[in-house]
Amino acid sequence: MATSLAACGDSTSPARPASLSVVAGNLDSALAGEQIVLQVRVNGSDNRPYAGAVVTWTVQQGPGTLSSPTTASGSDGIASNSVTLGGRGGQTTIIATAGGATPAAFTVSTIDPCTVLRSLAPGATTDGTLSSTDCQLLDGSLIDYYEFSLTSQSGVAIAMNAGSFDTWIYLWDGQGNPVGFDDDGGVGTNALLRAILPSGPYILGANSFAPAQTGPYTVQVQQPGIELGDCEVAWTTKGVAVAQQLTTAICPAPDGTVLAADHLLIVLDQGQSLMVNLTSADFAARVAIYNGNGSIQTATNAAGPGAVASVTFAAPAIDLFIVQLGAVGGATGGAYQVTLQ
């Protein structure tokens, strides 16, 4: 009888929290400012889910912030919490404990915002916001990255507008090579980058002129056509072959002179070569290449209408170069064809 009573007493002793097991949230990742839900199941000493246990949550390492320091387990033994991530990349370690039960550990990661590439559809307007947790450049300015693709050679106009800060646009090709940039090409302090580009993927950087500027903005990629307007300047790359109409509008040249000519901007790496072929049945073609400071690097004239003005140039250093497309004498207009290889 004594043995039976002892056994009965053991079977009715209260269960206690014995261990915690991870249910959700471990190894998850999100951007800074976003939340990750964390869940543990409290198991009792009777091997059943334990309800009513007070679970204490502690950030052991990293920039995460918990919604609450403690939560209670429900009838299913599950206790939930959430962590708001901080920083620009890196991990946060969180420990969940309940009395003397075996604790549970979580590792969550903040996504490096410099690796995030958002999709941008040509023709659509996309809303964005520069925030203090965005990717930060060496000058302290913040930047968001977008990708878009061109299915054929196109003229594009990339606009970035904001009401609270001075916008800045960067443009790279799909391999990360610089294509162009713009500060105040639009209205006021809004950016507008005009380019003639081959087909392929491109990366747009939505940036600000000054460090640490934040606020909402819109970005847009339009395809208005390839034809340049009077005195309009466009960025371009190697691999472009385009027909244009040279007007007799007098435009400023990089060296300060004025003449009837179109101008294309191109970024070349040190030692990179560029061959420009310009021909017109209406005038004797002339090609000149300037560096970013407005100093002429090389130039050539065609023998007459219908002849090709061809120049090959190797960049002495990485720089912005200006390709001037015009006529011998500088005052004649007409149709022309140009290739950049």
CATH number where 244 lies: 2.60.120.380
Q: Are residues 168 and 148 in the same domain?
A: yes
30, 130: one domain: no
With cut-offs at 50, 70 and 90, classify the pLDDT of residue 7.
very low
3-state DSSP assignment of residue 7: helix
Report the CATH number that the domain containing residue 19 is assigned in CATH.
2.60.40.10
Q: Quick one: 315 and 241 in the same domain?
A: yes
The two three-digit tokens of residue 153, written as one number = 């050679």
Q: What is the pLDDT of residue 1?
A: 38
Do 262 and 323 lie in a common domain?
Answer: yes
Domain co-membership, 187 together with 206:
yes
179 and 248 in a single domain? The answer is no
Res 107: pLDDT: 98
**pLDDT at res. 12:** 57
Task: Judge whether 155 lies within some domain.
Answer: yes
Residues 101 and 135 placed together within one structural domain of the fold: no
Query: Residue 277: is its pLDDT beyond 50?
Result: yes
Whether 18 shows a pLDDT value over 60: the answer reads: yes
Using a pLDDT cut of 70, give the percent of the chain over it.
Answer: 96
Q: CA end-to-end span of the chain, whole Å?
A: 101
249 and 267 co-located in one domain: yes
Does a structural domain hold residue 7?
no
Q: Does residue 219 carry a pLDDT above 80? A: yes
Q: How many alpha carbons fall within 13 Å on the CB side of residue 330?
A: 9
- Show Cβ contacts of residue 150 under 8 Å, excluding neighbours closer than 6 positions: 122, 156, 197, 198, 199, 200, 202, 223
Coil, strand, or helix at residue 113? Answer: helix
Question: Can you read off the two tokens belonging to residue 278?
Answer: 């310009």
| Placement of tokens 């039960």 in the chain | 101
End-of-domain residue from the set 80, 110, 140: 110
Output the average pLDDT for the chain.
Answer: 94
Question: Each residue of 23-32: pLDDT tens digit?
Answer: 999 999 999 9
Residue pLDDT, tens place only, 292-315: 999 999 999 999 999 999 999 999
The more confidently predicted of residues 318 and 332 is 318
Q: How large is the average pLDDT for residues 131-137?
A: 95
pLDDT at 3: 44
Do 46 and 146 reside in the same domain of the chain?
no
* Predicted pLDDT of residue 244: 95
Count of domains in the chain? 3
pLDDT of residue 14: 83
Q: Domain span at residue 155?
A: 114-222
Verify that 158 and 98 share a domain, yes or no: no
